[in-house]
Structure 1
Amino acid sequence: MNRSTTTELARTVDGSSLSRHVVVAPGMCSGGSLVFGRIGDWTWEAVAAACRTNVHAARTPEGQPAYLSFYYFRVRGGDAVHPHGLAFGDELQVTSRVFQFGSQAVITLHRLAPAGLGLADTPLSPAELYEHPHPDCLYAENFNRWIARSRPGSNRRLSQVAPPDFSYGALPRLPNPYSPRTLVGRAREAGSFYATPPPGLVPAGPAHTSEYALDVVRDLNGAGLVYFASYFSIFDTALLRVWRSLGRGDAQFLRRKVVDQKVGYFGNADPGAVFTITVRRWRSTARPSIEAADMALRDSGTGRLLAVAGVEIDLDAS
């Protein structure tokens, strides 16, 4: 990819789309969750522009803080751009488009393309992302819902409520065949994105269970909620423990190529929480280098399901 020292520039393409030129900086790339946090920032910025809502200071009709929470986050890596393959100075053309998804939610799609592909003026259609993605691009899908606390100071039993100035009527609708609602609903009910054996995959060893104590220094955001990108890090911590138990090195883990990753967010937690994370692994019968990890995160004290994740990794690339 091209290298430059220019800064990030964004422009409005139409009422639902933003296009930006991005130079990858240290705060955006690593073997961890930094890139997911940045994509989340782009989602908030795109929703703010498309819905004419101050996403960063939104309020409920009663005047309480309202948050555009992440309910589902999917990212699909390409040959040239994938989550843990970015380097300082890489130039990207990022296109974001917001779709209405009811009165309290939105879907935002992103395409991260190498700047040299010349896709800056190419609109991002759902058909491109879901049916014929460009092999060099990374695509992200964010399903966000407005929430607010039901009880002051508690992150349990968050309510769905949109700010009164949330303007979504002019947004395009995501075609029903592309809706993630059923997929995420099933994952929530089953506690897994792999409730049935994935086609072409076979189990790769026994399940692995570990605990993780919520880190109030690293895992909470400025609103006191568990930061959506922290869930990626927490799942990665559990996955790294599995890798080490298999005799795989940390360097290989940092070089892993994520082909597809899904996270469903079904609850939040208060400081002091301890999580139990169960990891199951699958291996492709056609391509043994492709592995999938199925992960469920629960509150250790109550057993309450907080999140699930499914990630496909190409071991040959690492």
Structure 2
Amino acid sequence: MTATTVVPDGTLTRDVVVAPGMCSGGSLIFGRIGDWTWASVAQSCGVNVYAARTVTGDPAYLSFYYYRVRGGAVVHPHGLTFGDELTVTSRVFQLGGQSVLTLHRLAPVGLFPPGEPLAAKEFYERPHPDCMYAENFNRWLARGTAGSNQGLTPLAPPDFAYEHLPVLPNEYSPRTEAGRARAEGGFHPSGPEGFAEVGQARTSEHVLDVVRDLNGAGLMYFASYFSVFDTALLASWRALGRTDERFLRRRVIDQRIGYFGNADPGTVFAVTLRLWRDERDPEREIADLVMRDRATGRFLAATAIETGGPA
């Protein structure tokens, strides 16, 4: 990866060569995009996101609240392989004093002129069909109780500078969609319009894996949510008689995750999945998944994964 360049409107650009640690049939690319988000916020907001502290000196974490990925015809989440060359363009927008939103465009090298800016309208209204886009809505949180991942409270570090950032137009704000998913218990609790349910709802369990699922701060790693959901989706595919090879070739068109709670070691997740197929296009499906703490029923996360035919 070359050094990050910044154009006058605050757009950050990275030239990236896809390495083994950022491509797979799992969550590696989502973790790497999250790293780019932290780096972008650090550079754009003048705050050390890796060692941020509240006014009382306690650690402050730039947590993920909503994560959306839109795959293109050429670049999509599970279509990357060793040596692919990408231009990653990022831009940070203000979303209040406790939150921030970062947009990323992953484009094949040479598709855009050098320094081509990234406008919000491109992401939300005119995405390039060959590109992959990611939207990260992050909130500053701090632990309310030492040693516990429950009861995290919104609290930004005092050196978080955001007033100079471009303002995201209200019509693009993810607050409404994330808030609705939180209130209704999922992105598609009654199924998307024009889709028919495939099979029956399935609930599987996942024990929080302290080796894989926790990050260096002892919190459940945001990319692990992708893995837990994908594991449940794979089990459903197998139950429908589909092969692992087909699962690995799936093309994610759109995926949204809402992060509504964290978890402590020993937590057992109950993950409920419903699968919906487009009545007009049988290659297009949406998996709607909800994660809860099995012991308490606490709502932790939800995702909607839209897939098309094999890439």
TM range (shorter): over 0.9
4+ runs deviating over 3 angstroms: none
- Which residues of structure 2 form unaligned runs of 5+? none
- Which residues of structure 1 form unaligned runs of 5+? 1-6
Amino acid at match of 2:207: A
- Partner residue of 1:126? 120
SS in structure 1 at match of 2:223: helix
CA distance in 1, matches of 2:228, 2:110: 34
**Matching residue within 265, 270, 276 for 1:271:** 265
Whether the aligned pair in 1 keeps the contact of 2:9 and 2:117 (CA below 8 Å) is no
CA distance in 2, matches of 1:60, 1:74: 28
Shift of 1:15: 5.8
- Partner residue of 1:3? none
- Partner residue of 1:187? 181
Q: Do the aligned partners of residues 195 and 119 (structure 1) sit closer, same or farther apart at CA in structure 2, a change above 3 Å counting?
A: farther
**Matching residue within 49, 60, 66 for 2:43:** 49
SS in structure 1 at match of 2:265: coil
Deviations 1:101-124 (A, max 9, x none): 000000100000000313432111
TM-score by length of 1: 0.96
Tell whether 2:221 aligns with 1:221: no
SS in structure 1 at match of 2:7: strand
CA distance in 2, matches of 1:14, 1:52: 16
**Matching residue within 150, 163, 171 for 1:169:** 163
Residue-pair matches, total: 311
Pairwise CA RMSD: 1.0
CA distance in 2, matches of 1:8, 1:92: 11
Alignment of 1:1-318 (within 5 A): 7-14=1-8, 16-314=10-308, 316-317=309-310
Amino acid at match of 1:20: R
The alignment-based identity, stated in percent, is: 63
Shift of 1:199: 2.3
Deviations 1:159-217 (A, max 9, x none): 10000000000000000000110100010011110134312212112101100000000
CA distance in 1, matches of 2:113, 2:214: 36
Amino acid at match of 2:72: G
Deviations 1:113-159 (A, max 9, x none): 00031343211111111111000000000000000000110000001
CA distance in 2, matches of 1:68, 1:174: 19
CA distance in 2, matches of 1:131, 1:165: 33
Amino acid at match of 1:242: S
Amino acid at match of 2:27: S
SS in structure 2 at match of 1:177: helix
SS in structure 2 at match of 1:19: strand
CA distance in 2, matches of 1:245, 1:161: 44
Shift of 1:13: 1.9
Amino acid at match of 1:148: A
TM-score by length of 2: 0.98
